Chains A and B, each alone.
Chain A
Amino acid sequence: MSALRDVVITGAGIVSPLGHTPAELFDRLLEGESAIAPIEGMDVTPFPCKVGARVTGFKARDWVSNRKNLKLMSDAVRFGLGALKRAHADAGLDRADVPPERLGIFVGAGTAVGRTEDLIPAIERSVKDGAFDPAAFGEVGMHAINPLWLLKGLSNNVLGFGTADLDARGFNQNYCNSGVGGLQAIGEAAWAIVEGKADVLLAGSSDSAVNPLHLTGFGRLRAMTNQTGDHPVRPFDARHDGFAPGEGAAFFVLERAEHAAARGARVLGRVVGYGDGCGAHALSAGDLGVITTACRRAIERAGWTPDQVDLIYAHGNGTPVYDRREAEAFAAVFGDDGPPVTSNKAQIGHPMAAGGPLSLACALEAGRRGVVPPVPGVDQLDPKCALLDVVRERPRHTPIRRALVHAAGLGAQTTFIAVEFDS
């Protein structure tokens, strides 16, 4: 089997709280802008976390061919369709002649359960003598619910609607694996290209955490920030106290280098390494050894040595427990003279499964421009993160040939993607 390094990225499309192209997002990150703000349009009084980063200025109607389907799509699914089609256009695939059976989509999807709010009228109709009556629910209650209720909560709706929209009939996948699903979709798609299973694959993720389900779930785990001031999320800083929910999507177009060259496509970078693992001894904190093993596996697969890595786009979500775990793991792999480390979660929050892919979009920009955005709000590193070279205060100009992107999940999953830029 030939190597992963034959796989190139020829297109990127994003939907983010700080812009709708990778270049716009990256510009605003460089300027230190943050989209994290008090959450509006939703009652957040019960939740300790009051802030989040929301997507604005996105019109789903512009990106969905069959608009009848819009009513079945959650926000996250709409973002996904937008990012998919932006990536498709960015790679010039609208002008390319890819047979439908050789075109596919790999998705890292978020937690979709259907809206429980939609059940309220049914439950209200099922009350007998002041109490909920399950028999009445079957008889009259449930018939107040839209018969398509289940479809809106399917976990593979980006894939289902996306493949229909782009007539992509080839290899496809949908990973629901917490924070790592997005990078896994990219890594597994890259391998599917190496296997010769497709000519072109779109891979990435779409997710949203700015909703009561996530505010409750991660709030109860005390993983979200309680701060509301200027820098509520401070990855690796001594004052870090949790992440802010975010949302967005990022998709990439992957193909073989020779396929890209034959159609004259522009190359944004190469996917050269992929490593993952799971240290499920403890929820979210993870197992240090598993992070270092996955990191080394990605570096090894890339054919690099640790000292050749020019940039780490960290998970860096701003929770004390995971920041320290990640810092320790990087120290184990890179020693005390490691590469510059940055994170975008102080500015766009934590978009769950979409976090890794949005970091990859930023890493591609960093590689192209030779500059790393600082992490705003970092004044004094947590002593347990002190070995990291966290980029702060101002952008760091430095040639970037090799970058690692890391994502972590609630079930102690860890995934790395290694990308390389031709000089």
Chain B
Amino acid sequence: MEPVVITGIGCVTPLGLDVDRTWAALVEGGNAIGPITRFDARTYPCTFAAEIRGFEPPKLSGRFARWRDDKSMFAVAAAREAMADAGLEPGAGDPDRFGVSVGAEVSRPGIVEVARRMGLMAQHGAERAYRATDPKEFAVMSAFFPATALAAVMQARGPNLTTSTACTSSAQSIADALRILRRGDADVMLAGGTDRLVEELMVMGFGLLGALSTRNDDPSGACRPFDRTRDGFVLGEGAGFLVLETLSHAKARGAQIRAELKGYGWSANAWRITDSPPDGRGAKHAMLEAMRDAGVGPEDVHYINAHGTSTQQNDASETAGIHGAFGAHAANVPVSSTKSMMGHLVAACAAVELIACVKAIETGIIPPTINYEHADPDCDLDYVPNTAREAQVDVAMSNAFGFGGSNGTLIASRFE
């Protein structure tokens, strides 16, 4: 089976609009969480989030210039950075052997727009409301649209997939790209995820479920994964993309190789759609599958970028899962949640967190879990509290677990 390597990385996150700025903030223990500015959220159960700010949508030509949708634009910007980093032009040499795999979810209209349409319907009838609908809207809002946009902008005519498993989406989309390259259906894959979440209906929906932190008097202290006083996750948004290619293809074109994508593991909780079993069996199974696929053992793993959402339930169950998968070695592995600094990027989180793993391997720095103050007896691992740590990282693991019960683990390693 041919090894698969990472030759390009790119991201748009609340901490920074590219990899360099995002990584610098992660190392410094930065914090992008603050009051929501995109709309007036002061009366919402949760009034803060990690927003993307100062983002200039990339300039596109032709038909795509008119298809403005932030989740697709985040994806195009991150993918352009990744392609440039990999030294690849659109088409990547052979467009038929170049594919796209994206983790994304459907977009929801803003509540003001929903209200406007309902008003239109009440006042002027349903037919008028129908005629006022933009013909492009259905496609552009759909989950698959970022993958379509990337296929067009990057001239990727090969396999084109969109995974929608909530917070696990991009862990699975990246693994699919790995599988496609391994079996020889493509030479190069652009893989990652994108999400735009700071929207009325999302803040409302997650808020009504009680999943979000309501620490409204202290937004910057709200995301505190593994801390005993954690009270929910914080919405983030953005995109992360990686250029993956077969080792032989990367070597033949003399590409810089940032790391090897060594393996993946998937599992399902088969439990309830919003939470995971307390024993962390699904998380454990995904991590074990990933280690088996990568051919590494617990003692080989030098860093775990946790899913670490800062909900009571996820962090305890993930900790139990790590104990289950790593046994006695669990206490020795540094585990950190970068969500503490940039919130939860949902369909994009695993892609951005895998990029953080690649940077940890390259720089020998493990980003911290910030806001960690109170030890929790149910969360008893080394969470790299509050400040980054220097360490040799040869193999790094990234976890993602989602609503619906899908779990995904990715393993990257130093390429030698």
Contact = CB atoms under 8 A, between A and B. Distances in A.
A116 B114 contact: yes
B285 A156 contact: no
B271 interface: yes
Nearest to B1: A1
Interface in B244-258: none
Contact of A132 (B39, B119, B138, B172): B119
- Give the interface residue-count category, chain B: 35 or more
A101 B111 CA distance: 41
Contacts of A114: 108, 201, 205
A173 B96 contact: no
B161 to A, nearest CB: 6
A294 B40 CA distance: 48
Given A174-B404, A178-B142, A135 B208 contact: no
A151 B152 CA distance: 32
B294 interface: no
B43 A139 contact: yes
Interface stretch (B126-134, B310-318, B375-383): B126-134
Interface residues of B, dominant DSSP: mixed
Interface in A102-159: 104-105, 109, 111-114, 116, 119-120, 123, 126, 132, 134-139, 142, 145, 147-151, 153-157, 159
A217 B115 contact: no
B206 A150 contact: yes
Contacts of B156: 278
A147 to B, nearest CB: 4
Q: Which of A109, A126, A173, A195 has the most CB of B within 10 A?
A: A173
Nearest to A124: B118
Nearest to A169: B270
Q: Which of B135, B182, B207 has the most CB of A within 10 A?
A: B135
Contacts of A280: 148-149, 151-152, 160
Given A145-B204, A151-B209, A290-B157, A177 B268 contact: no
A293 B96 contact: yes
Contacts of B183: 1, 191, 194
Contacts of A153: 205
B309 interface: no
Q: Which of B118, B161, B208, B266 has the most CB of A within 10 A?
A: B161
Given A137-B111, A278-B100, A176 B162 contact: yes
Interface string B115-148: 1101100000111011001111111011111011
12 contacts: A72-B273, A100-B270, A109-B164, A111-B142, A157-B404, A161-B273, A169-B270, A174-B164, A176-B142, A178-B144, A192-B179, A277-B157
Interface of B: 1, 39-44, 63, 96, 99-100, 104-106, 108-109, 111-112, 114-116, 118-119, 125-127, 129-130, 133-139, 141-145, 147-149, 151-152, 156-166, 172, 176, 179, 182-183, 185, 200-202, 204-210, 266-274, 281-282, 285, 289, 402-406
CB-CB nearest 3 A-B residue pairs: A217-B138, A138-B43, A150-B205
